[in-house]
Structure formats: C-alpha cells, structure tokens
Structure 1
Amino acid sequence: MPPPPLELEDMPAGPASGTLLARLDALPAHGGKELVFRDGNMVLRLLVQRYGHGAVVYENRCPHAGTPLNMFDDKFVDITGGRLICRTHGALFNIGDGKCVRGPCKGDHLRTVAVEIRDGAIYSI
C-alpha cells in the first residue's frame, strides 16, 4: 500500500501550500524535472514527470536506498520511456502510481506529493 501523499509545507525545506512548482509546457521533451528546495542544511528533492495530459510528482527518493532516482540531469525514465528508474540499483517504478515493479524495493512505492494541476501548472497543496 502506498504511503499517504506528502504535504510539502509540513516538510523541512518544503514550500508553502499554493506554491507554483512547474508549468507543464516548461517540462523538457522527455517530461522529467527535478525540483530542489533548501532551508539551511535541510534539502527536499522532488521529481516531476509528465504523464498522460498532466504530470505526477514524487519525492525524489528511492524507497530502497534513500538516494535520488536521477543521476543525469532531469532524466528519470528508463530507455523505453515507460517506467521511472532508480539509477543506483536499477529499480523500476510505474509512472502513474510510483509502485516498484522490479528491483530491490519491489512492491514498495515512491512517495506521492500532494499537488493540484490547474491552468497548465502544478501547485503544492
């Protein structure tokens, strides 16, 4: 069962509710973007990935190793473009629900971020 959505304003370094996170039309062609928020020594990493006509937002943290999924810029998808991949151990995750379908954390989920998509933009809730 996936963990409850992450409410960013409750996280150290998290932005306030209603913060513009990204515009859908500003996502790169491959659809992925890392967002990093800092407050002193606290860091919060998110990943935004285009999905269908919208996007999904997850905490950029592998449930197995705790490392960010991306190692190369804002690229989060595998070579097929069909799954998110953790570059540390090769775990594969469904884009739509964040469930790990292959790798050391099989059955675990990425942590969804509570967002609202409206007017072509993604906002924290």
Structure 2
Amino acid sequence: MKKPDLLYLSDMPGGPEAGTLLVTLNSLPAHGGKDIVFTEGRLRVNIFAQRYQNTIYVYENRCPHAGTPLNMFGDRFMNIEKNHLLCRTHGALFDPETGKCTGGPCKGHYLRQVAVEIRNGAIYSL
C-alpha cells in the first residue's frame, strides 16, 4: 500500500487553520505522547504528537483498519517496549517514524502524517 499524502488540517471539516499552535514541546509528557482534539460543532479532528528517539511525529489519531483512535486512555500511544505505536483496539503495531503498520489487521497500511512545522519550541499546523 502506498503511503498517503500529508494531511493538512485546514483541509479537514472542523480542522484548525494553518499556523495554529498544536502543542508546545515542553508540554509533552515524559512518555512523549499527546492526544490533540479539535471540535467545531459536531465535527471532530483528532491527531496526536509522539516523541520518538528525539524526533516529534504527528499523525491523525485514526487506525486505518477500524477508524478508531489508537489510544484508549490518555496520551499513551506506544507499546510496552516503546518501539512501536500501538492501536489499542486490535493490537496493530506502527513504525513511529513512518506510520507504516508492521503487524496486525492493517499490515502494510499507514497512519496519515500531519503537515506541521516545529519552531520556537512548539508544533504548528501547516
């Protein structure tokens, strides 16, 4: 399966406009994950940021298999070994650097990476 194009949040119904502050780097918890939700009326855009090996990755918080969020509670997205993103619904494992599913029901599919810019200690939407 081909890796999907970058996701521009401003193109999504209910998504924030380009240049919106998503999260500051110092507000990421020690485990590095942060669930970020935007709502506008009944519209909802759910993304997450994850620090992995000193790099920040931002993905749509939606499993390509079931459409459910990866996290079932809080800001935890990594497996116990802290080497893969984990979909808690069906146990799918994703490479944190590429978003590619390496194990589980959506093997070979990808999470959608969000177009962001990191500057001045914060992550902004593009």
TM-score bucket of the superposed structures, by smaller chain? over 0.9
Using structure 1 for the length normalisation, give the TM-score: 0.97
Contact 1:49/1:56 (CA < 8 Å) preserved in 2? Answer: yes
The equivalent residue for 1:46 is 47
Counting only pairs closer than 5 Å after superposition, residues 75-86 of structure 1 correspond to structure 2 as: 75-86=76-87
Partner amino acid, structure 2, of 1:53: N
The equivalent residue for 1:37 is 38
Partner amino acid, structure 1, of 2:106: C
Using structure 2 for the length normalisation, give the TM-score: 0.96
Post-superposition Cα deviations, 1:59-113, rounded to whole Å, max 9, x if no partner, equal 0000000000000211000000110000000000000110000000000000000
Q: CA–CA distance in 2 between the matches of 1:54 and 1:99?
A: 17
Q: What stretches of structure 1 move > 3 A for 4+ residues in a row?
A: none
Identity over the aligned pairs, expressed in percent?
A: 60
Structure 1 runs not aligned, ≥5 long: none
Structure 2 runs not aligned, ≥5 long: none
Secondary structure of 2:88 counterpart: coil
Q: CA–CA distance in 2 between the matches of 1:20 and 1:53?
A: 20
Q: How many residue pairs get matched?
A: 125
Partner amino acid, structure 2, of 1:81: K
Partner amino acid, structure 1, of 2:32: G
What is the CA-CA distance between 1:40 and the residue it aligns to?
A: 0.8
The answer as to 2:23 corresponding to 1:19 is: no
Q: CA–CA distance in 2 between the matches of 1:84 and 1:65?
A: 15
